[in-house]
Structure 1
Amino acid sequence: MSTVPERLSKLRELMVRDGIDYYIVPTADFHQSEYVGEHFTARKYITGFSGSAGTAMIDAKEARLWTDGRYFIQAADQLEGTTVELMKMGQPGVPTLTEHLKQVVKPGEVIGFDGRVVSMGEGQGYEAVADAKEARIVYTCDLIDEIWTDRPPLSEEPAFALELQYAGETTAEKLTRIREAMKENQATVHVVTTLDDICWTLNMRGNDIEYFPLVLSYAIVTMDEYHLYIQESKLSEEMKAAFAKDKVVLHPYNDIYEDVKKYGAGESLLVDAKNLNYALYNNLSKDAKRVEKANPEIRFKAIKNATEIENIRQAQIKDSVAHVRFMKWLKENIGKEEITELSAAAKMDSFREEMGNFISPSFEPICSFGAHAAIVHYAPSPETDIPLGMDGFFLTDTGAGFKEGSTDITRTYALGNITRQMKEDFTLVAISNLSLANAVFMKGCNGVNLDSYTRKPFWDRRLNFNHGTGHGVGYLLNIHEGPAGIRWRYVAGDTEPFEAGMVITDEPGRYIEGAYGIRLENELLVCEDELNEFGQFMRFDVITYVPFDLDAIIPEFMTEEERKLLNTYHQSVFEKVSPHLNEEEKEWLARYTRAV
């Protein structure tokens, strides 16, 4: 197997051949997915960094990787010896990729990339840099494909239909809503490339991206037809018949690049600049009017319908029962048998499988002991897997994909004896989590407004955590779902106001590099509260029912009100979960949900 320096050397040879001075390799597929299938892990191949977010840029002498705070520790470790320099996004003195290009590009030089894996917005940004520098771009080159001789092929996994009892809304009903949104935006055609938006609309799921039940596809929506671009062999005859009733017309997967050219003068195209890839954008007719707005499906699918909400509550109960059984097993067996990060993740999923309707984990398990837990998104591999020891923290950030919905839960468990400082840090994270969960706010607030509920306990102590506080959760789609999120910095497209029916995570953390990490994550359902003369108030309903490990809580470190919040939460955990447990398990849960 070739090394990263060897791959970079081969890439630079091709860059010289094609006259490219700067080559950009993002983390994306043709659909701007956050997580991608193995065929699309080009950035991992050329840098060695395996995190889910990051962009590489290679020139004749240097290679750089931009990634965010979740991955600083992991990236620094994986890039060691590769000659790739880590660029810590958002840190003082660190330019963005675009800013760096502005500094280094010279007149006549060429910026190259595969336009199918670069978003329309990003491509326009590179285009602007090239124009300003009297340089140019080439977006039709997939140089990684030329050197990646054993590249995995595109997935051919079959798709499946999500029944109405789980989806809660028919494809016909969803298309009516989409077309109403098109009319409101004065659009006659809607080009869709995002996999979760397409799968949500068609009540279709698949297995083209590990952990995420999505299907590689594109769509063009008109006022009377839905043109689906997909490998037809993925669809059963029953699915094809159902699609035909809804006037879903099937086309070969790659035909969209030519077909979009047909919509010219007199047409108005609704496109999402953040999600449409740059190559497809350049194939749109220059004669058509363009309406550049977020896909309406994004907001529609974020606000869960009544059927989805009821199903999600059932999924959360299932996963909470599995977590309680896992926690009991872990506490009772640590030190008696060897348990590793990977075997613990497998044990967690075995408890989930017992609950029924389990499809797969909803994302790659993050199970980390000791110093590994300080790496925010560390995922164990056979090469990094270590045994769980005593006198430390074990963090599990895992999720389940049930037919009833997806879950995302993080717990940190105290194993053996831990220090007073570790307990104080754990208690601080619990206080932070409970503070947000109990927020009451006005309709119209977003995650930027509310993030201070979570961070105030940290900021009061001049502390912080270097990641967002929460994200939306898809229904058997992406585990990270817009348009609402919780963070203190404004991020376009991820900080929209909360609406009743949205599901948001609440996941503060404390990380001590080289020692331990703590994160506690629940899912919250956004609900309407009181309506009075001041307006519509909103609140959260916690729908995750797993104890915060009382072995790591210092009650006297909490105020009376904070202890009350913890006790109330633990009371609800016992009430929701205990009916599904045997007597021994109930007795154990009663001990770990006792009032403090």
Structure 2
Amino acid sequence: MKVKEKIEKLRQLMKENKMDAYIIPSFDAHQSEYVAEHWKCRQWISGFTGSAGTVVITLDDAGLWTDGRYYLQAEKQLEDSGIRLFRMVDPGVPSYTEWLKDVLLKGNIVGFDGNVFSVEMVKNMEEVFETKGIALKINQDLINELWKDRPDIPKDLIWVHDIRYAGKSRAAKINEVREEMKNKGANYYLLSSLDDIAWLLNIRGLDVQNNPVVTSNVIIAEDKCYLFIDASKVPKDVKFELEVEGIELKEYSSIQQFLSGLTNKDGIMFDTTKTNVCLYNAINIDTKKIEEANITTKLKAIKNKTEIENLKRCEINDGVAMVKFIKWLKTSVAEEEITEISAEKKLEDFRRQQELFVEPSFDTIAGYKDHAAMMHYKANKETQYTLRNEGAFLVDSGGQYLNGTTDTTRTIVLGTLTEEEKFDFTLVLKANIALSEAKFLHGATGSNLDVLARQPIWKYGMDYKCGTGHGVGFLLNVHEGPQNFSKIPNNVQLEKGMVITNEPGIYKEGKHGIRTENMMLVVEDEKTEFGQFMKFEPVTFCPIDLAGINKDMLTESEKQWLNSYHKEVYVKLAPYLNEEEKVWLQEETKTI
């Protein structure tokens, strides 16, 4: 079926179920950013393939709300679909709940599948709709009735993430959680987010492409831990290991029955932003509900000593793969036909040659010239460009390794650049350096520091419609909270041991896109009478293309930073390269 036909069939089902609007978000039953094929309902109904967005269908209109990363992509993919694009970050654009409040009438009904809506989202919706008298139907998975060949929930086997990489046993992690439960007066803790579960139990899986998580739920009690999972996914040796440590396996579908069996003497703790409303409604009405952010999220964000040592080794391997790729690309582009897709595959081949590699950490963004202006561009056979020895090629990619997760962006100069391209390339570099060099008092958040990266770009009346950086998991989600760099205020302090990306950019529709991204580790700097100061240590090692830089635009301090960084790149990577590659890298990292 084409998108318009799907929407018409959905509208017919809406009428049969007495609904005036239907909402389809991007999430799965665990509020994940990236989801298994089974939960790609928004993509199925709309044709829009970005990772973030919400589709709303009324009986006579339809809209997609997405953020600045996807504006250009969404415009192209929604053509002739009958779905309008709402640029949700732009001033004056209503949220989908505000829009529904305006277009619906008193007594109208909004439906959705409560399994893919968090408690927090539903509470906010109820507040917005209450004054208009709009009602909700929260247990209506209408897409499932239409999507006849919908994939099943994945059944791939899970595996144990060895403690030599994880650095902390599952028993130690569970005990940390229990201590916090006790402090909050809870004797049960419900954990639904997949990356938190994987981290807590030191297990990994293949349920979501590029995100080695396991479809499951966890409930921790005072002396027991329950893992709700499809039993066919757990090998006997893994089951034995878990059970020896007091982790009891229960069927994935039995969690609602378990929650309903709690009593009025129990208190259960959960995160309203990470728990779906169907699980919430299953909790015994008399049980005390303690709403707190996931305990595991902050524990997971602060990497332990073993994780940090592993990640640094992992980043060297990843840097070697990147250097081999960039050298191959620059020396081959004029001699052979290379497309965006073949370049992407070649980079993955270089990563697969590195020890402990598992899979890419996200779908590679490989955009040549104006394709790079789409922040999350994904090349396909119909629209891909063939690379030439001119212009710039943006490659944002990363790897999942047993000893870490990587995320690196380089804009690679393939030949002559325009003055505008060099100007923008240099501004992005200045922005990256400004944040890299930050020294800040402990207690600062990513939103406090975001302006440092934007200032060099703002100075010329430009901006980028996304955050400047995000936390990164450890053999887990490449986008990991709670820390980030963003204009949107947050109260998450940057703590020693957190890993975060630094990725400012400039994107000009129809022209080019430029981004330079390194991962950084938060470390302590000096301690004075005014408090503990902090700084960033780069953990990504890959040359920044000197051919893109207008050196006259750099200050002496910026040149010094770049020269120091490039010296470290060479020292760390050269021992793993052959002589020809060493000579090439020496030229790419020469002093300016």
TM range (shorter): over 0.9
In the alignment, which residue of structure 2 is the partner of 1:235? Answer: 234
Q: Aligned runs of 1:282-321 on 2, under 5 Å? A: 282-321=281-320
2:537 alignment partner, SS class: strand
State how far apart, in whole Å, the 1-side matches of 2:504 and 2:442 are.
23
In the alignment, which residue of structure 2 is the partner of 1:331? Answer: 330
1:570 alignment partner, SS class: helix
* TM-superposition CA deviations, 1:265-316 (whole Å, max 9, x none): 0111111010000111111222111111111100001000111000000110
Are residue 527 (structure 1) and residue 499 (structure 2) matched? Answer: no
State how far apart, in whole Å, the 2-side matches of 1:28 and 1:496 are.
23
Q: Aligned runs of 1:526-565 on 2, under 5 Å? A: 526-565=522-561
1:449 alignment partner, SS class: helix
How large is the RMSD of aligned CA atoms in angstroms? 1.0
In the alignment, which residue of structure 2 is the partner of 1:322? Answer: 321
State how far apart, in whole Å, the 2-side matches of 1:135 and 1:481 are.
35
State how far apart, in whole Å, the 2-side matches of 1:421 and 1:135 are.
51
In the alignment, which residue of structure 2 is the partner of 1:4? Answer: 3
In the alignment, which residue of structure 1 is the partner of 2:584? Answer: 588
Q: Aligned runs of 1:498-537 on 2, under 5 Å? A: 498-537=494-533
1:518 alignment partner, SS class: strand
2:299 alignment partner, SS class: helix
In the alignment, which residue of structure 2 is the partner of 1:411? Answer: 410
In the alignment, which residue of structure 1 is the partner of 2:182? Answer: 183
The alpha-carbon deviation at position 387 of structure 1 amounts to 1.4
The answer to whether the 8 Å contact 2:75/2:85 transfers is yes
State how far apart, in whole Å, the 1-side matches of 2:351 and 2:47 are.
32
The answer to whether the 8 Å contact 1:101/1:129 transfers is no
Contiguous gaps of at least 5 residues in structure 2: none
Are residue 576 (structure 1) and residue 561 (structure 2) matched? Answer: no
In the alignment, which residue of structure 2 is the partner of 1:85? Answer: 84
The answer to whether the 8 Å contact 1:111/1:130 transfers is no
1:424 alignment partner AA:
F
In the alignment, which residue of structure 1 is the partner of 2:148? Answer: 149
State how far apart, in whole Å, the 2-side matches of 1:488 and 1:134 are.
34
1:50 alignment partner, SS class: coil
2:161 alignment partner AA:
L
1:581 alignment partner AA:
L
In the alignment, which residue of structure 2 is the partner of 1:70? Answer: 69
The alpha-carbon deviation at position 516 of structure 1 amounts to 0.9
State how far apart, in whole Å, the 2-side matches of 1:383 and 1:141 are.
36
The alpha-carbon deviation at position 116 of structure 1 amounts to 0.1
Could you tell which deviates more after superposition, 240-249 or 386-395?
386-395
In the alignment, which residue of structure 1 is the partner of 2:443? Answer: 444
Q: Aligned runs of 1:351-366 on 2, under 5 Å? A: 351-366=350-365
State how far apart, in whole Å, the 1-side matches of 2:336 and 2:295 are.
52
Contiguous gaps of at least 5 residues in structure 1: none
The alpha-carbon deviation at position 48 of structure 1 amounts to 1.0
Structure 1 residues 130, 557: closer, same or farther in 2, change over 3 A?
A: closer
In the alignment, which residue of structure 1 is the partner of 2:247? Answer: 248
The alpha-carbon deviation at position 385 of structure 1 amounts to 2.5
State how far apart, in whole Å, the 2-side matches of 1:297 and 1:382 are.
41
1:497 equivalent among 459, 479, 493: 493
Could you tell which deviates more after superposition, 63-72 or 256-265?
256-265
1:363 alignment partner AA:
F
2:312 alignment partner, SS class: helix
1:106 alignment partner, SS class: coil
Runs of 4+ more than 3 Å apart: none
1:9 alignment partner AA:
E
The alpha-carbon deviation at position 131 of structure 1 amounts to 2.9
State how far apart, in whole Å, the 2-side matches of 1:185 and 1:444 are.
24
Could you tell which deviates more after superposition, 277-286 or 22-31?
277-286
2:65 alignment partner, SS class: strand
The answer to whether the 8 Å contact 1:505/1:523 transfers is yes
The alpha-carbon deviation at position 123 of structure 1 amounts to 1.2
The alpha-carbon deviation at position 105 of structure 1 amounts to 2.6
Taking structure 2 as the reference length, what is the TM-score of the superposition? Answer: 0.99
Paired-residue identity, %: 43
2:591 alignment partner, SS class: coil
2:215 alignment partner, SS class: coil
2:564 alignment partner AA:
T
In the alignment, which residue of structure 2 is the partner of 1:17? Answer: 16
The alpha-carbon deviation at position 104 of structure 1 amounts to 2.2
2:477 alignment partner AA:
N
2:131 alignment partner AA:
A
State how far apart, in whole Å, the 1-side matches of 2:102 and 2:134 are.
13
State how far apart, in whole Å, the 2-side matches of 1:95 and 1:130 are.
14
In the alignment, which residue of structure 1 is the partner of 2:206? Answer: 207
* TM-superposition CA deviations, 1:196-215 (whole Å, max 9, x none): 11110110000000111001
1:498 alignment partner, SS class: coil
State how far apart, in whole Å, the 2-side matches of 1:529 and 1:27 are.
40
Tell me the number of residue pairs that the alignment of Structure 1 and Structure 2 aligns: 592
1:94 alignment partner, SS class: coil
The answer to whether the 8 Å contact 1:322/1:352 transfers is yes
The answer to whether the 8 Å contact 1:56/1:65 transfers is yes
2:591 alignment partner AA:
A
1:87 alignment partner, SS class: strand
In the alignment, which residue of structure 1 is the partner of 2:194? Answer: 195
The alpha-carbon deviation at position 468 of structure 1 amounts to 0.4
The alpha-carbon deviation at position 356 of structure 1 amounts to 1.3
2:324 alignment partner, SS class: helix
1:341 alignment partner AA:
E
The alpha-carbon deviation at position 128 of structure 1 amounts to 2.6
* TM-superposition CA deviations, 1:344-398 (whole Å, max 9, x none): 1111111111111110001111111111100001111233322112321101100
The alpha-carbon deviation at position 488 of structure 1 amounts to 1.6
The answer to whether the 8 Å contact 2:469/2:484 transfers is yes
Q: Aligned runs of 1:269-288 on 2, under 5 Å? A: 269-288=268-287
In the alignment, which residue of structure 2 is the partner of 1:426? Answer: 425
In the alignment, which residue of structure 1 is the partner of 2:389? Answer: 390
In the alignment, which residue of structure 1 is the partner of 2:376? Answer: 377
The answer to whether the 8 Å contact 2:105/2:134 transfers is yes
The alpha-carbon deviation at position 59 of structure 1 amounts to 0.4
The answer to whether the 8 Å contact 1:273/1:293 transfers is yes
State how far apart, in whole Å, the 1-side matches of 2:559 and 2:486 are.
25
The alpha-carbon deviation at position 318 of structure 1 amounts to 0.4
The alpha-carbon deviation at position 134 of structure 1 amounts to 2.0
State how far apart, in whole Å, the 2-side matches of 1:272 and 1:27 are.
19
1:111 alignment partner, SS class: strand
The answer to whether the 8 Å contact 2:400/2:476 transfers is no
State how far apart, in whole Å, the 2-side matches of 1:135 and 1:354 are.
57
State how far apart, in whole Å, the 2-side matches of 1:133 and 1:452 are.
39
1:32 alignment partner, SS class: coil
2:297 alignment partner AA:
I
State how far apart, in whole Å, the 2-side matches of 1:498 and 1:212 are.
24
2:558 alignment partner AA:
E
* TM-superposition CA deviations, 1:236-268 (whole Å, max 9, x none): 111111111221111111111221111230111
Are residue 478 (structure 1) and residue 477 (structure 2) matched? Answer: yes
The answer to whether the 8 Å contact 2:170/2:201 transfers is yes
The alpha-carbon deviation at position 127 of structure 1 amounts to 2.4
State how far apart, in whole Å, the 2-side matches of 1:55 and 1:431 are.
35
In the alignment, which residue of structure 1 is the partner of 2:135? Answer: 136
1:207 alignment partner, SS class: coil
The alpha-carbon deviation at position 52 of structure 1 amounts to 0.1
The answer to whether the 8 Å contact 1:528/1:536 transfers is yes
State how far apart, in whole Å, the 2-side matches of 1:485 and 1:328 are.
32
1:23 alignment partner, SS class: strand
